[in-house]
Amino acid sequence: MKILIAGFQHETNTFAPTKADWNDFVKGGGMPGMTFGSDILDFRSINIPVGGFLEAMHGKPHKIVPVIWTAACPSAEVTEDAFERISEKIVAATSEQRPDAIYLDIHGAMVAEHVDDGEGELLRRIRSVVGPKIPIVGSLDLHANVTELMLKNADALVAYRTYPHVDMAETGERAAFLLSQFMEGGNRLSMSYKRIQFLMPLHGQCTEMDPAKGTYEYLETLEQGAVTSMSFTPGFPAADFPECGGVVWGYGSNRATVEGAVESLANHVTEREADWWIDLYKPDEAVLEAMSRSQNANRPVVIADTQDNPGAGGNSNTTGILRALVANQAQDAALGVLFDPVAAEAAHKTGVGKSITLGLGGEPALGDQPFEATFSIEHLSEGNLTVKGPMMQGAKISLGPTACLRIGGVRVVVASSKVQMLDRELYRVAGVEPEQMKILVNKSSVHFRADFTPIAQSILVAESPGPMVADPINLPWKRLTPGIRIRPNGPVFVG
């Protein structure tokens, strides 16, 4: 059979300062750049969903028709131009190729300038072309804000079960299993879903600890007998539209059994509502606590600069924790990745071993001023690396011109591209050996844990300036569904 595959991924923070345009999707922003046709087949060895799907289908007598795969760094809305150009390529190919089945590698939390529900709209357009009989299966991110339109127009959607997302390829394999069942003549499955009535902060969704850890363990016990597939997405709590938030859904051969499993899992989540909140440190508190913990430690203490996470809409350029490190005279500390292409270029023009005075970083939209200081230039590179840790292992990333700038006992990895600190190689490409540091400040919320937990003495989560507000209660919500609690056990949104 002919299987059309395509990927279109974006995680939209409607409160972020910058939008995602066509060029952002061309570059990829920490994911592979825009890829067309047979070149997508090379993703088979990468830990992303389409890689797992291709691996599962390898050797089977089906014709794979790859169209486009593209992603952009999380940000504010996708521009109408980018959404329409990319969607049109997928829909046009669907019309031209007349496939027997379709697999989509999508995120599930995309908002465009003109469309609240990017994935739902894409699925609707594809369904209108192929009709009701052609099976459409998609894989989703754990942070998907799953909508009724998405569930209505796909035969099956399956989501990651880990955060950090170390099971992306595995999720693609599960999507391939479901699609194969449909293509082999299996009956369509009954579906049931239920919304969670409170927003879950991003930093509380880590599956290496409870309540998320236990929730996904329980989810897997429900997949048996008449229940074919279960998914739970805590959601991406920074998209101001009515269907933002967590969803539980499932598929199976018996509707009543599936409904019972979905209800049971939703109750499991709700009964632990208070546990989905994790306390945060202010910048100075985080640095002083890290300095104290690292005194007699032989491994680094890691601070997550969660609100400036470029994997959630931050620009990776705020200076709150950098200021705290310098003010408190932290030693053997490193921060990365700070996005400042002008500073990186200036360092390259000046040269290794020399000093440079400049204003580093800063996010004007937040009142965060550049950090003015004189730095020594310790290392320069072109920023090219291959990911070695569990997140996206094997993927090639380019930071562009990159520099390690040092002030006192603090090193800053400065890059020309926005990339979340999700792998130790992002330090090493700037000449910093992370294992030798006493303190590491990672501009990330949770993904860094996949590669850094094994070397960390402990991990702190800091609430420093940044567009990805860690506590949803502090966001200016206008369009949520009335009645939802804005954070665990928090106030109710009334509209």
Task: Output the pTM of the full model.
Answer: 0.85
Alpha-carbon distances of 386 from 360, 391, 394, 425, rounded to whole Å: 26, 11, 6, 7
pLDDT at 467: 82
CB atoms closer than 10 angstroms to residue 387: 21
For 469-478, letters b (16+ CB in 10 Å) and e give bbbbeebebe
pLDDT tens, residue by residue, 374-428 = 999 999 999 999 999 988 888 888 999 999 999 999 999 999 999 999 999 999 9
Distance, first Cα to last Cα, the chain: 49
Q: Are 262 and 192 in contact (CB under 8 A)?
A: yes
pLDDT digits (tens, 9 = 90+) for 306-350: 999 998 888 899 999 999 999 999 999 999 999 999 999 999 999
CA pair distance 191, 179, nearest whole angstrom: 15
- How far apart (Å, rounded) are the C-alpha atoms in residues 397 and 394? 10
Task: Starting at the earlier edge strand, list the strands of the sheet with 156-159.
Answer: 35-36, 63-71, 2-9, 101-106, 136-140, 156-159
The enclosing H or E element of 457 equals none
Whole-angstrom Cα distance, residue 278 to residue 273? 12
Around Cβ 297, how many Cβ atoms within 10 Å? Answer: 15
**Domains of the chain, with CATH numbers?**
2-276 (3.40.50.2300), 283-468 (no CATH)
Radius of gyration, alpha carbons of the chain = 22
Distance CA 30, CA 417 (A): 8
**Helices then strands, each counted (H, E), the chain:** 13, 19
29 — pLDDT class (breaks 50, 70, 90): confident
Kindly tell me if the per-residue pLDDT of 279 is higher than 90: no
Q: What is the pLDDT of residue 188?
A: 85
pLDDT digits (tens, 9 = 90+) for 34-80: 999 999 999 998 899 999 999 999 999 999 999 999 999 899 999 99
Mean pLDDT for the chain? Answer: 95
List the structure tokens of 323.
């200021």
Q: Which of 235, 246, 387 is nearest to 312 (CA)?
A: 235
C-alpha pair distances (Å), 475 with each of 107, 237, 241, 330, 469: 23, 10, 13, 32, 7
| Closest-CA residue to 394 (of 117, 109, 103, 169) | 169
Q: Please check the confidence at residue 133 and state whether its pLDDT lies above 80.
A: yes
| Residues ≥6 apart with Cβ < 8 Å to 177 | 56
Rounded average pLDDT over 262-266: 98
CB neighbours (10 Å) of residue 118?
Answer: 27
Question: How many Å apart are CA 202 and CA 2, to the nearest integer?
Answer: 38
